[in-house]
Amino acid sequence: MSTLIDTHCHIQFQGYKDDRNEVISRCIKKNVIMNAVGTQMDTSKKAMELAEQYDNIYATIGLHPIHLHATEVDEEESNFISRDEDFDETYYDELAKSKKVIGVGECGLELYHVPEGQNSDKILDKQKDILGKQIKFAKKHNLPVVFHCRDAYNELLEYLKLVTSDQGSPITGVVHCYSSNWENAQQFIDLGLYLGFTGVLTFPARKTNPQPTIDLLEVAKNIPLDRFLIETDAPYLSPQAYRGKRCEPWMVEEVAKKMAEIKQKSVEEIMELSVNNAKNLFTNIK
Ligand SMILES: [Zn+2]
Ligand SMILES: [Zn+2]
Protein backbone atom coordinates (compact mmCIF):
# COMPACT_ATOMS: atom_id res chain seq x y z
CA MET A 1 0.00 0.00 0.00
CA SER A 2 1.35 3.39 -0.86
CA THR A 3 2.12 5.99 1.74
CA LEU A 4 0.14 9.18 2.22
CA ILE A 5 1.08 12.28 4.17
CA ASP A 6 -1.54 14.40 5.91
CA THR A 7 0.42 17.64 5.91
CA HIS A 8 -1.83 19.40 8.43
CA CYS A 9 -3.76 17.92 11.33
CA HIS A 10 -4.19 18.37 15.07
CA ILE A 11 -3.92 14.84 16.44
CA GLN A 12 -2.76 16.38 19.74
CA PHE A 13 -6.10 18.18 20.29
CA GLN A 14 -8.64 17.38 23.01
CA GLY A 15 -10.97 15.86 20.42
CA TYR A 16 -8.79 12.72 20.52
CA LYS A 17 -8.21 12.52 24.27
CA ASP A 18 -10.18 9.29 24.72
CA ASP A 19 -8.95 7.27 21.76
CA ARG A 20 -5.83 8.92 20.35
CA ASN A 21 -3.91 5.62 20.26
CA GLU A 22 -6.62 3.94 18.20
CA VAL A 23 -6.76 6.85 15.75
CA ILE A 24 -2.98 6.71 15.35
CA SER A 25 -3.16 2.91 14.87
CA ARG A 26 -5.69 3.35 12.08
CA CYS A 27 -3.28 5.81 10.43
CA ILE A 28 -0.37 3.37 10.78
CA LYS A 29 -2.45 0.56 9.23
CA LYS A 30 -3.28 2.80 6.30
CA ASN A 31 0.35 3.97 5.95
CA VAL A 32 -0.52 7.57 6.73
CA ILE A 33 2.19 9.88 8.02
CA MET A 34 0.97 13.07 9.66
CA ASN A 35 2.13 16.55 10.52
CA ALA A 36 0.67 17.53 13.90
CA VAL A 37 0.43 21.31 13.80
CA GLY A 38 0.61 23.43 16.94
CA THR A 39 -1.47 26.54 17.58
CA GLN A 40 0.13 27.89 20.76
CA MET A 41 2.62 26.77 23.44
CA ASP A 42 0.72 23.77 24.86
CA THR A 43 -0.45 22.33 21.55
CA SER A 44 3.00 22.84 20.01
CA LYS A 45 4.69 21.02 22.87
CA LYS A 46 2.15 18.21 22.76
CA ALA A 47 2.67 17.88 18.98
CA MET A 48 6.42 17.56 19.51
CA GLU A 49 5.96 14.99 22.28
CA LEU A 50 3.68 12.83 20.13
CA ALA A 51 6.15 13.12 17.26
CA GLU A 52 8.93 11.88 19.54
CA GLN A 53 6.72 8.94 20.51
CA TYR A 54 5.43 7.77 17.10
CA ASP A 55 7.39 7.15 13.89
CA ASN A 56 4.52 8.30 11.66
CA ILE A 57 4.02 11.64 13.42
CA TYR A 58 5.98 14.84 12.78
CA ALA A 59 5.38 18.22 14.40
CA THR A 60 5.04 21.86 13.44
CA ILE A 61 5.35 24.44 16.21
CA GLY A 62 4.03 27.98 16.42
CA LEU A 63 1.39 30.50 17.38
CA HIS A 64 -1.96 30.79 15.57
CA PRO A 65 -3.30 34.34 15.00
CA ILE A 66 -6.47 33.67 17.01
CA HIS A 67 -4.35 33.09 20.12
CA LEU A 68 -2.91 36.60 20.16
CA HIS A 69 -5.97 38.00 21.83
CA ALA A 70 -8.43 36.29 24.15
CA THR A 71 -11.57 35.51 22.18
CA GLU A 72 -14.29 32.93 22.10
CA VAL A 73 -13.71 30.51 19.27
CA ASP A 74 -16.63 28.49 18.03
CA GLU A 75 -15.57 25.90 15.50
CA GLU A 76 -17.82 23.09 14.37
CA GLU A 77 -16.29 20.61 16.80
CA SER A 78 -14.90 22.76 19.54
CA ASN A 79 -15.88 25.72 21.59
CA PHE A 80 -13.28 27.30 23.78
CA ILE A 81 -11.97 30.57 25.02
CA SER A 82 -8.56 31.10 23.48
CA ARG A 83 -5.95 32.67 25.70
CA ASP A 84 -3.74 35.46 24.55
CA GLU A 85 -0.08 34.60 24.08
CA ASP A 86 2.98 36.33 22.74
CA PHE A 87 5.55 34.46 20.63
CA ASP A 88 8.03 33.20 23.21
CA GLU A 89 11.08 32.48 21.09
CA THR A 90 13.10 30.78 23.85
CA TYR A 91 10.25 28.35 24.51
CA TYR A 92 9.96 27.46 20.82
CA ASP A 93 13.76 27.22 20.47
CA GLU A 94 13.65 24.37 23.01
CA LEU A 95 10.93 22.53 21.08
CA ALA A 96 12.80 23.01 17.79
CA LYS A 97 15.66 20.90 19.14
CA SER A 98 13.61 17.81 18.34
CA LYS A 99 14.54 16.21 14.99
CA LYS A 100 10.83 15.50 14.49
CA VAL A 101 9.95 19.18 14.30
CA ILE A 102 9.58 19.87 10.57
CA GLY A 103 7.92 23.28 10.35
CA VAL A 104 6.86 26.53 11.99
CA GLY A 105 3.19 27.45 12.42
CA GLU A 106 0.42 27.60 12.10
CA CYS A 107 0.84 31.34 11.90
CA GLY A 108 -0.73 33.98 9.75
CA LEU A 109 -3.54 36.46 9.47
CA GLU A 110 -7.16 35.99 10.39
CA LEU A 111 -9.93 38.56 10.24
CA TYR A 112 -12.72 36.04 10.78
CA HIS A 113 -12.57 35.98 14.57
CA VAL A 114 -12.19 39.66 15.43
CA PRO A 115 -13.12 40.16 19.08
CA GLU A 116 -16.13 42.38 19.55
CA GLY A 117 -15.43 46.05 19.98
CA GLN A 118 -11.83 45.76 18.78
CA ASN A 119 -10.27 47.61 15.91
CA SER A 120 -9.37 45.24 13.07
CA ASP A 121 -6.41 47.38 11.89
CA LYS A 122 -4.85 47.15 15.34
CA ILE A 123 -5.42 43.40 15.42
CA LEU A 124 -3.92 43.02 11.98
CA ASP A 125 -0.83 44.99 13.03
CA LYS A 126 -0.31 42.71 16.01
CA GLN A 127 -0.87 39.60 13.87
CA LYS A 128 1.70 40.85 11.33
CA ASP A 129 4.21 41.51 14.10
CA ILE A 130 3.85 37.98 15.50
CA LEU A 131 3.88 36.48 12.02
CA GLY A 132 7.10 38.32 11.20
CA LYS A 133 8.74 36.93 14.33
CA GLN A 134 7.79 33.40 13.30
CA ILE A 135 9.05 33.84 9.74
CA LYS A 136 12.42 34.91 11.19
CA PHE A 137 12.34 32.03 13.65
CA ALA A 138 11.69 29.60 10.77
CA LYS A 139 14.65 31.01 8.81
CA LYS A 140 16.89 30.67 11.86
CA HIS A 141 15.98 26.99 12.22
CA ASN A 142 15.90 26.38 8.48
CA LEU A 143 12.28 25.21 8.58
CA PRO A 144 9.32 25.91 6.25
CA VAL A 145 6.35 27.99 7.44
CA VAL A 146 2.76 26.74 7.70
CA PHE A 147 0.53 29.74 6.98
CA HIS A 148 -3.04 30.02 8.23
CA CYS A 149 -5.28 32.57 6.56
CA ARG A 150 -8.93 33.37 6.91
CA ASP A 151 -10.66 36.40 5.41
CA ALA A 152 -7.29 38.13 4.98
CA TYR A 153 -5.77 36.78 1.75
CA ASN A 154 -5.04 40.17 0.20
CA GLU A 155 -3.44 41.34 3.44
CA LEU A 156 -1.31 38.19 3.68
CA LEU A 157 -0.14 38.50 0.09
CA GLU A 158 0.79 42.12 0.55
CA TYR A 159 2.67 41.31 3.76
CA LEU A 160 4.57 38.36 2.31
CA LYS A 161 5.62 40.35 -0.75
CA LEU A 162 6.99 43.01 1.56
CA VAL A 163 8.88 40.53 3.74
CA THR A 164 10.28 38.69 0.73
CA SER A 165 11.64 41.85 -0.87
CA ASP A 166 13.01 43.06 2.48
CA GLN A 167 14.84 39.80 3.07
CA GLY A 168 15.88 39.41 -0.53
CA SER A 169 15.16 35.70 -0.41
CA PRO A 170 11.97 33.65 -0.80
CA ILE A 171 10.04 32.17 2.12
CA THR A 172 9.49 28.43 1.95
CA GLY A 173 6.10 27.31 3.14
CA VAL A 174 2.50 26.35 2.51
CA VAL A 175 -0.75 28.28 2.70
CA HIS A 176 -2.77 25.58 4.40
CA CYS A 177 -6.52 24.98 3.81
CA TYR A 178 -6.36 27.35 0.86
CA SER A 179 -9.69 29.08 0.33
CA SER A 180 -9.29 32.01 -1.98
CA ASN A 181 -9.41 32.48 -5.75
CA TRP A 182 -7.03 31.42 -8.52
CA GLU A 183 -5.74 34.95 -8.98
CA ASN A 184 -4.42 35.05 -5.41
CA ALA A 185 -3.27 31.42 -5.68
CA GLN A 186 -1.00 32.34 -8.60
CA GLN A 187 0.60 35.08 -6.54
CA PHE A 188 1.32 32.73 -3.63
CA ILE A 189 2.80 30.25 -6.10
CA ASP A 190 4.94 33.02 -7.61
CA LEU A 191 6.26 33.71 -4.12
CA GLY A 192 7.42 30.08 -4.07
CA LEU A 193 4.75 28.74 -1.74
CA TYR A 194 2.70 25.54 -1.83
CA LEU A 195 -1.08 25.42 -1.35
CA GLY A 196 -2.79 22.88 0.91
CA PHE A 197 -6.21 21.38 0.09
CA THR A 198 -8.51 19.85 2.72
CA GLY A 199 -11.75 17.86 2.68
CA VAL A 200 -13.50 21.11 1.76
CA LEU A 201 -12.59 20.18 -1.81
CA THR A 202 -14.91 17.14 -1.56
CA PHE A 203 -17.98 19.10 -0.43
CA PRO A 204 -20.87 19.64 -2.85
CA ALA A 205 -20.02 22.63 -5.09
CA ARG A 206 -22.24 25.06 -3.21
CA LYS A 207 -20.29 24.38 -0.02
CA THR A 208 -16.84 23.90 -1.55
CA ASN A 209 -16.81 27.54 -2.49
CA PRO A 210 -16.78 29.75 0.58
CA GLN A 211 -17.96 32.71 -1.48
CA PRO A 212 -19.57 32.85 -4.92
CA THR A 213 -16.47 34.56 -6.28
CA ILE A 214 -14.15 31.79 -5.11
CA ASP A 215 -13.89 28.63 -7.14
CA LEU A 216 -11.72 26.13 -5.28
CA LEU A 217 -12.21 23.52 -7.99
CA GLU A 218 -10.70 25.97 -10.47
CA VAL A 219 -7.72 26.50 -8.15
CA ALA A 220 -7.24 22.73 -7.80
CA LYS A 221 -7.55 22.27 -11.55
CA ASN A 222 -5.00 24.96 -12.38
CA ILE A 223 -2.40 24.43 -9.69
CA PRO A 224 0.88 22.98 -10.99
CA LEU A 225 1.38 19.31 -10.07
CA ASP A 226 4.46 20.18 -8.03
CA ARG A 227 2.76 22.79 -5.82
CA PHE A 228 -0.22 21.14 -4.13
CA LEU A 229 -0.36 19.41 -0.75
CA ILE A 230 -3.23 17.40 0.71
CA GLU A 231 -4.30 17.64 4.35
CA THR A 232 -7.27 17.14 6.67
CA ASP A 233 -7.06 19.84 9.37
CA ALA A 234 -8.47 17.04 11.57
CA PRO A 235 -10.43 17.03 13.88
CA TYR A 236 -12.15 19.64 11.69
CA LEU A 237 -13.44 19.50 8.12
CA SER A 238 -14.33 15.81 7.61
CA PRO A 239 -14.46 15.03 3.89
CA GLN A 240 -17.93 14.57 2.39
CA ALA A 241 -17.80 10.74 2.70
CA TYR A 242 -17.48 11.10 6.51
CA ARG A 243 -19.54 14.23 7.03
CA GLY A 244 -20.91 14.47 10.57
CA LYS A 245 -18.12 12.29 11.98
CA ARG A 246 -14.97 13.53 13.65
CA CYS A 247 -12.25 13.89 11.05
CA GLU A 248 -9.16 11.62 11.33
CA PRO A 249 -5.87 12.03 9.44
CA TRP A 250 -6.24 8.85 7.33
CA MET A 251 -9.29 10.48 5.71
CA VAL A 252 -6.78 12.49 3.67
CA GLU A 253 -7.21 9.69 1.10
CA GLU A 254 -10.57 11.28 0.21
CA VAL A 255 -8.80 14.52 -0.72
CA ALA A 256 -6.37 12.51 -2.88
CA LYS A 257 -9.30 10.81 -4.65
CA LYS A 258 -10.98 14.14 -5.37
CA MET A 259 -7.72 15.67 -6.57
CA ALA A 260 -7.23 12.67 -8.91
CA GLU A 261 -10.69 13.27 -10.37
CA ILE A 262 -10.02 16.99 -10.87
CA LYS A 263 -6.55 16.47 -12.34
CA GLN A 264 -7.69 13.45 -14.41
CA LYS A 265 -4.90 11.30 -13.03
CA SER A 266 -4.95 7.99 -11.19
CA VAL A 267 -5.28 8.11 -7.41
CA GLU A 268 -1.89 6.34 -7.18
CA GLU A 269 -0.25 9.07 -9.24
CA ILE A 270 -1.78 11.85 -7.13
CA MET A 271 -0.73 10.09 -3.92
CA GLU A 272 2.82 9.81 -5.17
CA LEU A 273 2.93 13.44 -6.33
CA SER A 274 1.51 14.69 -3.04
CA VAL A 275 4.06 12.70 -1.03
CA ASN A 276 6.91 14.04 -3.18
CA ASN A 277 5.62 17.59 -2.78
CA ALA A 278 5.30 17.18 0.99
CA LYS A 279 8.86 15.84 1.24
CA ASN A 280 10.20 18.62 -0.98
CA LEU A 281 8.75 21.22 1.35
CA PHE A 282 9.13 19.46 4.70
CA THR A 283 12.64 18.22 4.08
CA ASN A 284 12.94 16.68 7.55
CA ILE A 285 10.30 14.03 6.80
CA LYS A 286 12.12 10.73 6.42
ZN1 LIG B 1 -5.60 26.92 10.07
ZN1 LIG C 1 -5.11 23.82 11.60
DSSP notation for 62-99? ---GGGGS-EEEEETTEEEEEPP----HHHHHHHTTST
- How confident is the model over 222-242, as a mean pLDDT? 97
Quote the ligand 2 centre to 106 CA distance (angstroms): 7
- The residue ranges of every structural domain in the chain are 4-281
Sign of CA dihedral 127, 284, 4, 216: positive
By percentage, how much of the chain surpasses pLDDT 90?
81
Ligand nearest to the CA of 236: 2
Position 275 scores a pLDDT of 98
Does the structure show a pLDDT above 50 at 271?
yes
Ligand nearest to the CA of 60: 2
Q: How far apart are CA 120 and CA 114, in angstroms?
A: 7
Nearest to 7 by CA among 33, 30, 46, 29: 33
Which is higher by pLDDT, 69 or 37?
Answer: 37
Q: pTM of the predicted model, to two decimals?
A: 0.93
DSSP state of 114: P
Q: How far apart are CA 24 and CA 53, in angstroms?
A: 11
- How confident is the model over 210-217, as a mean pLDDT? 73
By percentage, how much of the chain surpasses pLDDT 70?
92
Quote the ligand 1 centre to 45 CA distance (angstroms): 17
Model confidence band, residue 112 (pLDDT cutoffs 50, 70, 90): confident
DSSP state of 242: G
Position 77 scores a pLDDT of 39
- How confident is the model over 135-159, as a mean pLDDT? 97
Position 76 scores a pLDDT of 39
Quote the ligand 1 centre to 148 CA distance (angstroms): 4
Ligand nearest to the CA of 177: 1
Q: How far apart are CA 170 and CA 26, in angstroms?
A: 37
The CATH code for residues 4-281 is 3.20.20.140
